[in-house]
A and B are shown apart, each in its own frame.
Chain A
Amino acid sequence: MSVLPEFENHAEQTVKMTTCYMCACRCGIKVTMEGNEIRFIQGNPDHPVNKGVLCAKGNAGIMKQKSPAKLTQPLVRKAGTARGDGEFEPISWDKALGLLTERLRKIRATDPKRLAFFTGRDQMQALTGFWASQFGTINWAAHGGFCSVNMAAGGLYMTGQSFWEFGDPDWDHAKYFMLWGVAEDHASNPIKIGLEKLKRRGARFVAINPVRTGYQAIADEWIGIRPGTDGLLALSFAHVLLKNEQFDWEFLTRYTNATQLIIDAPGTSQHGLLLRDEAGELQVWNQTSDNVASWTESSHENDVEAALFGEYTTADGVRVKTVMTQLAEKYLSEDYAPEKVAATVGVDAETIERLALEMAHVAFQETITIDTPWTDWTGRHHEKFIGRPVAMHAMRGISAHSNGFQTCRAIHLLQVLLGAVDCPGSHLAKPPFPKHIAPPIKPARAMAPDTPLSSPPLGFPMGPEDLVVDANGEPLRIDKAYSWEAPIANHGMMHMVINNAVKGDPYPIDTLILFMANMSWNSSMNTAEVQDMLREKDEYGDYKLPFIVTSDAFHSEMVNFSDLVLPDTTYLERFDTISMLDRPISEPHAACDSIRQPVVELDRDVRPWQEVLIDIGTRLEFPALTNPDGGAKFKDYKDFITNWEKSPGIGFLAGWRGENGEESMVGAPNPDQWQAYQDNGCFFEHHLPPEQRYYRFANKDYLEWSKSVGFNAHSGPIVMELYSEVLQKFRLAGQGLYDGPQPVHEVDKQRLVQYFDPLPDWYVPLEEQRVDNEQYPFHAVNQRPMFMYHSWDSQNAWLRQIMAQNYLYMNRQRGVKMGIEDLAWVWVESHHGKIRCQVKLMEGCNPDTVWTWNAIGKQSGAWGLSEDAPESQKGFLMNHLISELLPAKDGERGLSNSDPVTGQAAWYDLKVNIYPAAAGETGSYPTFDAVKRLPDMADAPAVLRYHTHEPVNLERSLQDALSRGHLSSGDKR
């Protein structure tokens, strides 16, 4: 081989590990630097999340770093100019923080809830939540209310583990994988890695999704379901399984509440609750003694034969029936028969039945075992882990509907019937999950001036008494989370904050702090009107939302609507933690966390938001951040992370604890902890020993360990709640029967009764219930393309070359029938508004569905793009069609367009009508005035020629050029 030149001057290069932040996946990256320029960003091969691979976004990190939209200095809205006009002037950090601190100090000393602090796609909710608690405001949440809460809550209230990012399919053992409503969702790279593993092993992959793009492209079978009907499909599968007697009797008996007894006492406060003895122990029916016995006892004792089925009357005359009986009665009903649901879900009956029986075959006739002995929580010894290798994963397409919580439960129900939860080949929890149902944290309600909250703002209500409402039952939180309208709104309801605050409903606020949340654009429903709300003034000429503070790294549409802009760094310029107290990066068989470290030196006057939070908190003298003498407890963010402890021995980072770094998970603060992470590729992994890897909800060793490291409050079993007593309590409250708080408003009562079925249920999505479906025949949904998923900067110069305009996709045959041609401009109308956009016809799309790529559309001038960029001229947002409120009904207060259980924004419920635009009507509608450039913003270069060194050309000798003949004529190679 000829001698090659030295292409790279390795001596001039340095390599640093850190963690990606181009989306929520949090992959490990290895960054090669040349001076302060990035030569190459690649996946860290040792990293538990991505194992060396990296997606398109991660590979485009250089262009994020080079974005002309980067903020360069703190900005304040120019005095005398209107909000949203985009007139800013620079302000020093000192002045900016001084000004903000003074304002916040007054709020904190008087009425802390007048500060609302909401964050977008951040991964530091443990820190921001801590900060809000210390401030003393309950008005804090992240963006989960329009993202994932249905998945998180649906799982955590049923199996103690969730889809979303709390678990993963067992890619190594699953033989059958069913993917429900997933675009490029949590998580990005792990799912891709996993799908390939599955396919290589010959496992079957069935995708349920109205649209066949992305992962569904490579599915063995695609089920183009009608949006919002997944729950009905899942329950029809359950019907087929029951009808064919395909359910895991042992699993249901041992690990779920299927044997527990539901009290049948209609019209009383006990109706539908689970039977308990005087000590509060849950009861089962002992077949041997024909009497009740405690569930715990029945689990331990082999002579207590708990009945899975049956209706009984206790010695006290209480009529009861087992959960499984009620469940079987419900789902065996012909209402769920495939023939009955086929038309609604858009899948033929034969296919529904076949799929259910395929899963049953895999679960029960292709059972796998892992020969590792383990002990269950009762002390019973098992020789092996039995695996029902049917795995499922579900996400956005389930989550973003107003029936998403119950739909998510319906999918979990299938898993439980098949015995396919946290066993080999099924869906596996990632530590710190599974957790008890539900984790014993109650949402904070009480507030007092200058006082931290006594519990976190977000928690897990277990009944009406845990709601965050006042004595009259009215909401206490600005977003109305945990109110009767959304009792289990565990991630808050960020989508309602601006609307509520501007209306002063339930009360006006003073300051809104937003971090990485584009609430005046793609992160809000009803974008145009939200912009108007942000501009709205009261009769004195003051803004109804008096002060808006935004921290972002880029010139987003929200920055344009801010009064104070605190510029953040990019992910490559700061220290950060991805903590197990937060949304950890764990793998099913390893508890993991990680850090970021700066790899690029800062070149402008910006500060990491983490650092700013600690700074402001110290200035405000938060008890956790200051000594009694008022001095700072921590000198900066790094110091805080190292030394702050949530409880003794437990802090933000679990690795290398103890004074000398010899302890994992729990241990005293280690002054060299950051360095230890940096030395280990910026992540920490605690591998579970083989006997702790499955059945963790009942696995003695795991449960004891999980308690010892603070994941769970006790080491008792996690009993899956097929029947949710929590939901039944709310339903009783709606019926006026609950022994505790009850709603006042008729609409709340009616919703509790209708939607809080303690068994997984399906109902028509709320918007669909209220609009004329002949007038609005299409479902309209959206997804983000893989190369932009979860990234809030698609102005990225490389990624926007892949896509800079979104289209409205629709089924070709349907389009042709309607006389809509490929690339035609059309009007799309919902009950709320109308937009104009361009159509693309495709095959892999449910005929009743139209969809688009979300968040491609930008406001002209934002994100460093030219004013005529296609993102603003031809791209569009579906958000304009989506109202944050349900279509109004006479005599009813405005109800948020959300899941009635969790408050999850129901942005997939949208129904629309489409008709061709008139000749000459082109370009997207509505359009907005161009966002003005910020002071001192650099010009965007017309031509980019990014490179870190002069290229070393591989030269061909002239002699070779002259002498070689035709390639195929003998002397090739």
Chain B
Amino acid sequence: MKLGLVIDLDTCVGCHACAVACKQWNTSGTTGPLSDYDAYGKEPSGVWFNRVRHYEVDDFPNSKTINTPMSCMHCEDAACVTVCPTGASYKREEDGIVLVDQSKCMGCNLCAWACPYGARELDEEDGVMKKCTLCVDRIHDKNLPEAERQPACVMTCPSNARHFGDFDDPESNVSTLVRERGGYSMMPELGYEPTNKYLPPRQRPAAPTVERKAATSGESLIGKWMKRQKDAFNNLGKGAR
């Protein structure tokens, strides 16, 4: 099994619901609490596993605003795991989830240095590294209704821009989406083979228009319509206009 997320940049409106849902679930989750520093003060900050950033591609007036939620990509070749000296960071063999065993981390930050995606954040209060668990404590919890065995971010996403599934199964929702929509990896050149994929904005062809009529003056149009209205009336209910 290779569990991960597909994020649809065509429908993500940048609402941050996924980020806050993640915060909410995980602050009482397996690696919680997720500390918040200076929560009501000058520099409010804290530990988040999922952050949404907003970009603009191209220049006005052709610019397109892109919202990108980013969390752990659960890389196939996870450099964060390779560099971890204590064995706290590991990739689960069963499902490919990259986790940090909170009891083993010494807080050296090297995994965060190795991660290109900013997925790991040190909890300064606990002195250990924390990161997206893909809600391992939801997706494998048999006591939750089956429909809810999904990461909190996926369940909450109002614009259905987040999809969770098994990339090893070619027929899974995520594999299908990636195949059909040209799902891609961020910063693939580093070679970490991120599991999470992003769907690019859909490219739409120009919309058809009705044929433009030759210019007639307003008055003559109304005159024409007056002449036509008897026929038009007789055609009522036959889809005339």
Residues of A within 8 A of B (CB): 1-2, 4, 7-8, 10, 34, 39-43, 45, 50, 52-60, 62, 68, 176, 184, 188-189, 192-193, 195-196, 199-200, 202, 204, 212-218, 220, 222, 224, 242-251, 253-254, 287, 305-310, 325, 328-329, 332-333, 353-354, 357-358, 360-362, 364-365, 367, 386, 419, 786-787, 795, 797-802, 804, 811-813, 842-845, 847, 864-866, 868-870, 873, 940-949, 951-956, 958, 960-962, 964, 966-968, 972-973
Residues of B within 8 A of A217 (CB): 13-14, 54, 64-67
CA distance A50 to B48 in the complex (A): 25
A801 in contact with B229 given A50-B158, A954-B30 (CB within 8 Å): no
Residues of A within 8 A of B136 (CB): 4, 7, 954
B182 in the interface (beta carbon within 8 A): no
CB-CB nearest in chain A for B14: A217
Indicate which residue in A43, A787, A864 contacts B20 across the interface (CB closer than 8 Å).
A787
A-B contact pairs, 10 of them (CB 8 A): A59-B17, A176-B207, A204-B204, A214-B13, A249-B232, A812-B60, A941-B39, A943-B35, A954-B30, A954-B137
Of residues 123 through 137 on chain B, the ones whose CB sits less than 8 Å from some CB of chain A are: 125, 133, 136-137
CA distance A357 to B208 in the complex (A): 8
CA distance A961 to B117 in the complex (A): 24
CB-based contact B15/A946 at 8 Å: no
CB-based contact A250/B241 at 8 Å: yes
The 5 A-B residue pairs whose C-beta atoms are closest, nearest first, are A961-B87, A332-B218, A843-B63, A357-B209, A7-B137
CB-CB nearest in chain A for B84: A961
CB-based contact B20/A798 at 8 Å: yes
Further contacts, 7 of them, CB under 8 A, given A245-B225, A357-B212, A943-B37: A53-B156, A192-B159, A196-B161, A386-B239, A797-B39, A951-B102, A960-B87
CB-based contact B15/A972 at 8 Å: no
CB-based contact B155/A193 at 8 Å: no
Encode contact with A along B22-33: 1 for CB under 8 Å, 0 otherwise: 011101111111
CA distance A386 to B236 in the complex (A): 13
Number of CB contacts from chain A to chain B under 8 A: 349
Indicate which residue in B54, B76, B209, B230 contacts A287 across the interface (CB closer than 8 Å).
B230
CA distance A440 to B196 in the complex (A): 57
Residues of A within 8 A of B33 (CB): 945-947, 951
CB-based contact A956/B101 at 8 Å: yes
A958 in contact with B56 given A1-B94, A7-B141, A43-B156 (CB within 8 Å): no
B interface bracket (residues with beta carbon within 8 Å of A): 35 or more
**Within the complex, what minimum Cβ distance (angstroms) separates A864 from chain B?**
6
A287 in contact with B147 given A40-B25, A192-B159, A943-B125 (CB within 8 Å): no
A216 in contact with B44 given A56-B16, A196-B161, A972-B77 (CB within 8 Å): no
CB-based contact A944/B39 at 8 Å: yes
CB-CB nearest in chain B for A52: B155
CB-based contact B156/A54 at 8 Å: yes
B165 in the interface (beta carbon within 8 A): no
A250 in contact with B141 given A309-B222, A329-B218, A332-B218 (CB within 8 Å): no
CA distance A653 to B103 in the complex (A): 53
CB-based contact B143/A8 at 8 Å: yes
**Within the complex, what minimum Cβ distance (angstroms) separates B213 from chain A?**
5
A786 in contact with B13 given A244-B212, A357-B209, A358-B209 (CB within 8 Å): yes
CB-based contact B158/A55 at 8 Å: yes
CB-based contact B25/A961 at 8 Å: no
CB-based contact A243/B221 at 8 Å: yes
CB-CB nearest in chain B for A253: B236
CB-based contact B230/A951 at 8 Å: no
CB-based contact B40/A797 at 8 Å: yes
CB-based contact B137/A801 at 8 Å: no
A212 in contact with B240 given A243-B221, A309-B222, A361-B208 (CB within 8 Å): no
Indicate which residue in A357, A786, A866 contacts B40 across the interface (CB closer than 8 Å).
A866
CA distance A287 to B228 in the complex (A): 12
Residues of A within 8 A of B38 (CB): 942-943
Residues of A within 8 A of B103 (CB): 953, 955
CA distance A199 to B200 in the complex (A): 13
A189 in contact with B213 given A218-B11, A944-B46, A952-B137 (CB within 8 Å): no
Indicate which residue in B93, B208, B215, B232 contacts A973 across the interface (CB closer than 8 Å).
B93
CB-CB nearest in chain B for A354: B209
Encode contact with A along B69-106: 1 for CB under 8 Å, 0 otherwise: 00000001110011000111011111110010111100
CB-based contact A960/B90 at 8 Å: yes
B113 in the interface (beta carbon within 8 A): no
CB-based contact B14/A944 at 8 Å: no
Indicate which residue in A199, A328, A940, A945 contacts B125 across the interface (CB closer than 8 Å).
A945
CA distance A760 to B1 in the complex (A): 60
Indicate which residue in A248, A249, A967 contacts B81 across the interface (CB closer than 8 Å).
A967
CA distance A843 to B16 in the complex (A): 21
CB-based contact A955/B229 at 8 Å: no
